[in-house]
Structure 1
Amino acid sequence: MLFGLFLCVGLASGQAVVAQDDPATIGDPDAPNSVPYAFPMSGPFDAAGVDVRNTQEIADWFRSAHADATAEAFRHWDEEEEITAVCATCHSGAGFRDFHGLDGSEAGVVDGPIRPGGVVDCGTCHDARLADVTEVVFPSGLRHPVQGVEASCMTCHQGRTSGEDVAEAVADLDLDTPNPDLSFVNPHYATAAATWLGGYGGSGYHYEGMSYAGRFFHAPPVASCNSCHDPHTLEVAFEPCQTCHLADSPRAIRIARQSYDGSDDTSKGIHSDIEANAATLLDMVKTYAAEVAGAPIIHDGSRYPYFFADANGDGAIDQAANGPTAYEAWTPRSLRAAYNWKLVTADPGNFAHNPIYVLQLLYDSMADLSDPLGVDIDAMGVRR
């Protein structure tokens, strides 16, 4: 708790801002600083007597996933004793400041070394110099303009890859021929910003000749991440939704009068249509792998690279001396469908962030697989 306290305490009378990076500035309230600390101007003092004006915000943050120092997201690199540079930007507050140059280093690269154990701390979102970050570059190459704390959200929730990475990997290859040089392209986790920007952000694999919904503007009062998510607890405030939507939870909100999953049930939220179509697509990927590629596949979302070989089709992951055998019979057709499936399901809030875009990705992926599988996509009743 002290860690959060000293990062974000409100300054009381008789206290000075102390720069984190330069001890020589202690006692100088006008010194530039990256992460402010608060200390009395003189001592001795009683810590319990320090006036903390944002106690509730600190407590909310401390209980959030961003502050969970025991989570795999922050402990994964313990044995290496250094976070991989490409990962450090989002898996450590120090890495984030390094990447954006908020610590005085070159922007756009993590110089490191960044030690594990840090979290998404207060300075990740409250550093005064974050105002100087005016755009965030997405994996597709898109340079999206941002203001203030948007830079924090969009830097770390954009994913690691884009549809262009998939297109490049499968270029000029036969669609239905397994290629051992292909490996799964992982969009990563919690890809909310990628979903939100839709086709404009280019996160999904876009099939030739198809158009895709762009950024989901929703409504003016909910035009930013903090419009819906409490910045400290990360919880979603549902009350504003009820201004326009009659529902008892975010997942129960429906945005269309038609069914997308073939059920013709429009009494449920759009989340159910997306979830059903995602399940159907994964089943089709598995069927395609067994019947077309001739190499059964098993999905295990708890371990990387998520898709594993099942050569004898017994429903168990093949094992090698070094552990589970990764799936190595990808075809261009199965790889791009699996990528879109993973992108959609990697964002648990996809139904709110950009439902139309994710439904389009799911439908086009199913339609593409239906041809070699001999399935009538229209007879399935699913819609784009």
Structure 2
Amino acid sequence: MSEAFIRFVRELYGEPRAGIPLHAPVMGTREKARVGEAIDSSFVSSVGAFVTEFERQVAAFVGSRYAVATVNGTAGLHAALVVAGVQAGDMVLTQSLTFIATCNAIHYCGADPVFIDVDEDTLGLSPEALASWLEEHAEQREDGAYEPASGRRIRACVPMHTLGHPVRIEKIAEICAAWGIELVEDAAEALGSTRGGRHCGTFGRLGVFSFNGNKIITTGGGGMIVTDDEDLARRAKHLTTTAKKPHPWAFEHDEIGFNYRLPNLNAAFGVAQMERLPELMASKREVAAAYARWCKAQGMAFVHEPAGTRSNYWLNALRLADEAERDAFLAATNAAGVMTRPLWTPMHRLPMYAQARRGPLPVTERLAATVVNIPSSARMAGG
């Protein structure tokens, strides 16, 4: 199986010998030109026309009223949680099957994650598991949800759209609304993904995207908070700009803020990448379709976009029989120069989050043991 897969991937990417990465950025002359314009403007840090333009483009693309650019997705998620009201001692419901940034951002607020199981098809937070945990462990008061045993506020819920596949976010939004829990979407991997025609990251009051070097578009590092709430957007921008009060020359700050704004150089790169996004999405869906056809012919389980969604297929994935088969596949492909990787080690297995509260996690454990990410770069040249 591994040898046939390696041959197929090398044919798919037209690369007979050299290493094939998991996900490489597409960039070229237009990125160089935009960055050159930023250099010529002399605005290279967190103030400049490209920051504003990048925010405008992302907001328009996802259908949100406001966007606030940040230095990376983790910073964006941290700031969004603060803006959503998450405080020290709060509990935040999320998934264990995620990149560690999700939980770290919660921890930066002094809050604690509570791990809820995921769905087999979406790979993301299960609405049924969420509702079940709340019914068993929470009570509703006038100002929101609490855990009676500890008296702690259950302040927010952070589902993550795993590998770009949309979770059943409308159901999660309904549950959160019923319990008075803030919904903050970790859409780091989901730029271009929609559920029912609505873009991921726009179902909650706040959503966050990432533009790390391996994402569908990149600014090298970078993130974006999106919201339809003008007050939340204003506060997010203020907090991420060190909470500096506007003034022609004085440096006055009215609270503890964060130096989280995206530099103009990175934003210039992002503006050029946004010009490529439709082509990138089309190419990545073609790659996914090729994998799906091959897997069907081989009797292998390909991870398809969930029903009712359109995924950006950020990272394609296979489901293997068990952990032993997964590890053998990983060893063989990587030894042959075709990069593959498992999903993240579930957060509840990591020492810093091993003591976190959690519900039953059987699907999380199964997916972590059997899912493998495979090369997913777009097949298009820079220029």
Given the two structures, how large is their TM-score scaled by the length of structure 2?
0.23
Greater RCO structure (CA 8 Å; 6+ sep): 2
**Larger % of strand: which?**
2
**Structure number with larger C-alpha Rg:** 1
